[in-house]
Each structure stands twice: as structure tokens, then as C-alpha cells.
Amino acid sequence: MYPFFSSSRLKKSLESRGGAILKSKGQNFLIDPNAVRLIASGVFSLLPDSFSVPMQKDAKSAVIDQDLEAEAQEKGPGLGAKKLHGSARGIETLEFLEIGPGTGALSFAIWDGLQELAMQHSDMAIRWVGLELDPVLCSILSEETIPAWNSGLEEISERGDQDWRTLASKTWKKKNLELTLHRTDARNWIEHRKHSDPMESCLRIICGNLPYYISTELLLQSMDLRPDGCAFLVQKEYALRILETRKSSSISVFVRNQMKPEKGASIAKGCFLPPPSVESTVLIMRKIAMQCHPELLEQVLRKSFSGKRKTMRNSWKNSMANSEVLELWNEVASTIGLDPGRRAEDLQPDEFFALANALENAGVSRETHRENDKR
């Protein structure tokens, strides 16, 4: 059983290592088992149908589903989670990458599911990779949480230094299941990882309880890895901004170029220690075919949303140094039937994708966009 649903035990474990809860670092620890089950259920819903998802819905999640159906009728598409259709055939590796596991509340539930999947798919490599920056939390994970989960794991890391202030990583293995914990800033790790060759036969899911002050940075970096799915616990207002379909925002459009966002379970403030100031929501994102080049789309969105409530024509004019480039933008917009006199928030994502593709077809490179930005 996960050892830290008790807030007193969690505090004691932190204090014994000279640690404390750092709200300045966005540390809010999950201490409610029902909330953890709901989050884990959202994570495992990203697996193809051919996998037997080990997380079963409880009575509370059924209530959540009813709430989602009602909300979906109000807000339109983008709400409610359905599993991806697909097959496990051809998948050699299943990887769950968790950002900021903390003391391992969600990790514990994920390990349970992965162990079951490892037994079902003995010819498949099943692995969990945790990215945790805090050495105190790394120590708790490796010395208390992992042993509490399964004493049958074999540590295959090099023996020697066990001090997480200097130790970089540890790996445990049991047959075809592997757990690896890295002491690292997730942003740096992902930046390095995205330049490595993608594994065609790997199904990758990224999850985590994201600190609110770097949610966007981590979400966008995670998308750079082109995962098959993501499930992030974020502030409810932030999730709804991405899910919004009536008005566009730069983040919602950028996400929809590569992923289909859906609303998962809502998690109350009281499920955390310390309680955050706002409610949280599981944001589920499923991989789709890319509609246009993300770097070019980023430039289009940056320029189009640069002026609050201004028309795109005025926003473009104020953000471009070269009048010839500005003229080309207006011409390209005209050829696809896009009126630059509209505000960016009134456009649908598909219209931004069409503009990015038309600009690329017109020979405007991503480098040209950057060179002609007004400094």
C-alpha cells in the first residue's frame, strides 16, 4: 500500500531528511486514494483497446462521467474521454514517462497497472521513467515508496553512492518490467531526449501533476516528443482554456495541431497537501496526425495573438519589421479566403492550420518569420 496518504507520515518522512513541502516549487502532494485512482484511470485510458486496462472505474468515477456528459452537451466537442482504438501488435516497448512523481502517489498506481500489463505481455518491454528534481523526494521514492510497492524488484544500477544530492539515477527491474528514476529537471531531460531518434515500435505515454507556474512549458515540451498520449493534472481553469471551442487561444490551437484534448476527472482542493488555491482537472490529450509544421504554426499564432482584441491585420503589422513580408501574409490569407480583419480568437484552429500551410507553400520559411519579427 502507498505509505503517504497519511499527511503526518509524509511530513515526518520529509523532515527526517531535512526536507519540507515547498509551495514555492508548486509542491502539492496527493493524499486522497480515490483521487489517485481517478487520475490513474485517465492515464491508462490512453492505451489502445487491445490492452486490458487494469484501472477499473469506481462509483465516484461514474459520477464524474455523468458530469462530463452534461458538460459536453454545453461546450461541444473536446470533452469526455474515450480510449484510443488500436492494437498492441508491433509494439515492442511500452513507456510511461512521469513528470514530477514527488513521493509516488500516482506512480504507485501506475506501477500496479504496469505490473499487470507486464504479465499479460511478457514479450514486451514495459518501463516507467520518473523525472524528479528534488533529491529529498528522490530519496523517499527509492528508499520508501518503491520498497513498499514491491520487494521483488532488483536494483540494477551501479552500487556505490546512494546520496541523491549527487546521484543521477537508479533503475529497478523485474522480468520485463523496468522502473528508472532520474534526478533531473524534466525540462532539460525532455529537451535532450527530443533530439534522439524516435523508437517506431515504442508506445509512449507522458503523465504527471504539473506545477502551475511551468505547466505550459512542460506541456509543450512533452508534445515535442510526439507521445501517443498525455494525461496531466493541471489547474481547472487552464484545462478549460485548452478545451474551449467557442473562442480560440494560442495554446488551444497549438495543442490541437498534434493532439485531441479531452477533459478527465476533476480533483478537489482537499485531495492535496497542502491544498492549492484552485480546483484541478486531468487534461487528457491523444495523438492525432499533425496538421501543419508546429514551428511555423507557433510563429503564425505568436503574430496573430500579439495584439489583445486587435484584428489580425493590425497584430501582423505591429509584429513584422518587413513590409514585404506583411504584404505576402495578407495576400496568402486572401488566397485561402481568410479575412485578416477578423480577430484571432474568432478563428477556428483549422483556419490557422490552413494559413500556416499556405505560407509554407508560398515559400515563407520559419527562419524568415523569425528574422522579420519586430524586436
Cβ–Cβ < 8 Å for 336, 354: yes
- Contact between 239 and 338 under an 8 Å Cβ cutoff? The reply is no
**Given CA atoms 339, 342, 348, 354 in this order, what sign does their dihedral have?**
positive
Taking the C-alpha atoms of residue 26 and residue 235, their distance in angstroms, rounded to an integer, is 12
C-alpha to C-alpha distance for 84 and 223, rounded to whole angstroms? 17
pLDDT of res. 49? 85
Q: Please report, in tens digits, the pLDDT of each residue of the chain (375 residues total).
A: 999 999 999 999 999 999 999 877 778 999 999 999 999 999 999 999 888 765 644 433 433 443 444 444 344 434 334 445 455 678 999 999 999 999 999 999 999 999 999 999 999 999 999 999 999 999 999 999 999 998 789 998 766 667 888 899 999 999 999 999 999 999 999 999 887 766 678 999 999 999 989 999 999 999 999 999 999 999 999 999 999 999 999 999 999 999 999 999 999 999 999 999 999 999 999 999 999 999 999 999 999 999 888 999 999 999 998 899 999 999 999 999 999 999 999 999 999 999 999 999 998 765 555 545 553
User: What pTM does this model have?
Assistant: 0.88
User: Which three cell numbers mark 214?
Assistant: 511551468
H or E element that contains 208: strand 202-209
Query: What is the structure's pLDDT at 87?
Result: 57
CA 257 – CA 298 distance, rounded (Å): 10
How far apart, in whole angstroms, are the C-alpha atoms of residue 88 and residue 120?
11
Domains in the chain: boundaries: 7-287, 294-371
CATH superfamily of 294-371: rRNA adenine dimethylase, C-terminal domain (1.10.8.100)
Say which residues have a Cβ less than 8 Å from residue 157's Cβ, sequence separation at least 6: 169, 170, 171, 172
CB 222 within 8 A of CB 257: no
**Contact yes or no for 233/209 (Cβ under 8 A):** yes
**Alpha-carbon span 275 to 93, nearest angstrom:** 37
Which run of H or E residues covers position 132?
strand 125-132
Q: What's the confidence (pLDDT) of residue 162?
A: 73
Within 10 A of 232 (CB to CB), how many other CB atoms are there?
Answer: 27
CB burial readout 237-257, b (16+ within 10 A) else e: ebbbebbbeeebebbbbbbbb
Order of all β-strands in the sheet with 154-155: 154-155, 169-174, 177-183, 125-132, 93-99, 202-209, 229-235, 280-287, 259-267
- For residues 109 and 56, the answer to whether their CB atoms sit within 8 Å is no
Length of the chain: 375
The answer to whether 282 and 39 have CB atoms below 8 angstroms apart is yes
Q: What CATH code is assigned to 7-287? A: 3.40.50.150
Closest CA to 30 of 58, 2, 1, 62: 2
Give the dihedral of Cα atoms 161, 164, 167, 170; nearest 10 deg.
90
